[in-house]
Amino acid sequence: MKKTMRYLSMAALVFAASIVAGCSNDDNDITGFQQPELPKDNVVTLTTTISRDDEAPTRSIDESTGAKTFNAAEKIAVVYEKTDNSFAKVVKQLSFADLSNGNRCATITVTLTNPKPDGIVKYICPADMVNDDGSINYNYIYNQQNGVLYMIEGNCDLAKFEGNLVGTSKLPSGTLRNQLVLCKFKIKDGNGNDITNTINKLTVKNGSDVYSVNLYHNPYIWVAMKPVTSGTIEIYAAKGQELYRKAVTGQTLAASKIIPITVTAPKVEGAVSGLFSVNENHDLVYFSQGNLIAQWRTGEGWGNFNFAGYQSFILKDMEGNIHLSNPSNQERIDLFGWSTIDSYNNYGINAAPAGSFTFSFKDWGTANIQNGGGANKWRTPSYDEFRYILQSRSASVVRGKSDARFFNLYLPDQNGLAGIVLLPDNYVLPDGISNNLTANHINQISQAVSLTYAELEKLEEAGAVFLPAAGYRNGTTVYTSSDGWPIGAYWTSTAVPNVDTNATSIWFGKESGTLYLNYEILKGRHLGMSVRLIGPVNQ
């Protein structure tokens, strides 16, 4: 594609209600078609000429000037105030006959019903980003970009002007100002190697705005964003299941500009690439690659921490979970009591009786996790965060289900292993997932989906998180099932107010023949449960 064909319109757009300099000709000199001030039945038809201030031959973006012209079939929205103070939108789709002066100018005619004399009028392009009330629909820029410039110039080239009608007989003239900044990203890993062409998803968080881009492989990743002045943008780049992260502070991204950004983002060791909002501010977290494991070493104790090598790995009633009081060298545990600062309960590794562990919480994420980047790199999700992930956050449409957050999974080919699959905020279901998974299975627990382990691996490769049902421990006795169904129990970091022997946890399984998922179970801190950590940590 020629350079001029790769250029988004970042230059100003001019709408004129009379003759526009450089755009007039014998056929369009009379552009301010006059109507009576108060027309019969309150309907007026007005004509105006609009222009783009550039010289490119086609609607395209030039990387050095940002110039762009009109295109046949492009839609322009005219939003106007009505006599009842509401707003209405009319759309003009351009044709070749509307274009002139090398496609730099176009003539549009719109019909307004019950316009308010001297009322507000807005010109917005592209029209598909405009709601009926004139507000902007940012859906395209938040989660429908693909990192390709051509898609942005056709769908996310947002420019707007706001003025007032002259009575009801004349449209205002004015200059459309671009509302977005166009960023041209190049991503490097922690060693400075260019990995842009291998990135399959880029997520940029700018304040509370989150842009998630599923990518084609390109030498650059183009992202249209809202402007930011001297703020912090967080970059999350997914390369398969690997995740790279960088916070860029003091970054100024101005509208009407093309900003080249090179980010050196180190790999997040031990992370799954899926991203999840944990509150209304859309603060993002990622999960660890597996549940936390501690290993006993003779002469060293339980100080050796790792994440499970893969998400479905669990010990259940094996190794240190049942030998906790008298472990052998190299034995491991993955069912922990609620961790407190009490030295007797270091990270919850103790077969203690009920009523134990009354001190304040000590986060498992402070431990030196050898395959998780070391100490203080992770944290335990709070009760509110777990509940928001499972119950409240906005997410993608999966198999026709809006805001798809989780589903209950059963794996017949893994000796009946079960668990909860968490779907990231912006998730594209990979190919090869059977039709066993339907919209009716998503966001509910009453029935489990039977999939193969190979299908689970595909889900995980695309960023899904699997919380396996690993049972729970009371003393050194491990309970793995109820009603013939696996039990899952995960600690949160949240204590129970005024009950210093209990803490909150997430449980799922079967009771009285019914599958359940409980978001808030108040359990004794002495019980051993699974621990799944999240990042980033605010340090």
- Residue by residue, DSSP assigns 47-90 as EEEEEESS--SSS---TTT------TT-EEEEEEEBTTS-EEEE
What value does the mean pLDDT take over residues 308-319?
96
Whether 428 shows a pLDDT value over 80: the answer reads yes
Whole-number Cα distances in Å, 54 to 149, 385, 423: 18, 49, 44
> How far is it, in rounded angstroms, from Cα 412 to Cα 414?
5
Three-state DSSP string of 221-257: EEEEECCEEEEEEEEEEEECCEEEEEEEEEEEECCCC
The pair of structure tokens assigned to 318 is 């094996």
175-186 pLDDT, tens digit per residue, is: 777 889 889 999
The pair of structure tokens assigned to 500 is 């210093």
Report for 37-51, 333-347, 453-467: range of highest mean pLDDT: 453-467
Q: Give the three-class secondary structure for 261.
A: strand
277-300 pLDDT, tens digit per residue, is: 999 999 999 999 999 999 999 988
Per the DSSP assignment, residues forming a β-bridge with 82 are 115
């009716």: which residue's tokens? 440
53 contact partners, CB below 8 Å, separation of at least 6? 11, 12, 13, 14, 67, 104
Read off the pLDDT band of 29 (50, 70, 90). Answer: very low
Q: What pairing do the DSSP bridges indicate for beta strands 449-450 and 406-411?
A: parallel
Read off the pLDDT band of 229 (50, 70, 90). Answer: confident
pLDDT of the residue at 25: 39
- Model-level pTM? 0.88
Whether 12 shows a pLDDT value over 60: the answer reads no
Per the DSSP assignment, residues forming a β-bridge with 124 are 77, 160
Cα R_g (the chain), whole angstroms: 29
Whether 36 shows a pLDDT value over 50: the answer reads no
Read off the pLDDT band of 144 (50, 70, 90). Answer: confident
Q: Do residues 406 and 443 touch, judged by C-beta distance below 8 A?
A: yes
What value does the mean pLDDT take over residues 112-141?
92
Read off the pLDDT band of 66 (50, 70, 90). Answer: low
As a whole number, the mean pLDDT across the chain is 86
pLDDT of the residue at 35: 37
Share of the chain above pLDDT 90, in %: 64
pLDDT of the residue at 68: 63
Q: What pairing do the DSSP bridges indicate for beta strands 258-264 and 181-188?
A: parallel
Please provide the distance, in angstroms rounded to a whole number, between the alpha carbons at the two ends of the chain: 45
Read off the pLDDT band of 5 (50, 70, 90). Answer: very low
pLDDT of the residue at 63: 66
Whether 436 shows a pLDDT value over 90: the answer reads yes
> How far is it, in rounded angstroms, from Cα 320 to Cα 83?
75
Whether 270 shows a pLDDT value over 90: the answer reads yes
Lowest-pLDDT choice from 28-42, 167-181, 362-376, 397-411: 28-42
48-65 pLDDT, tens digit per residue, is: 766 654 433 334 566 666
486-509 pLDDT, tens digit per residue, is: 999 999 999 998 898 999 999 999
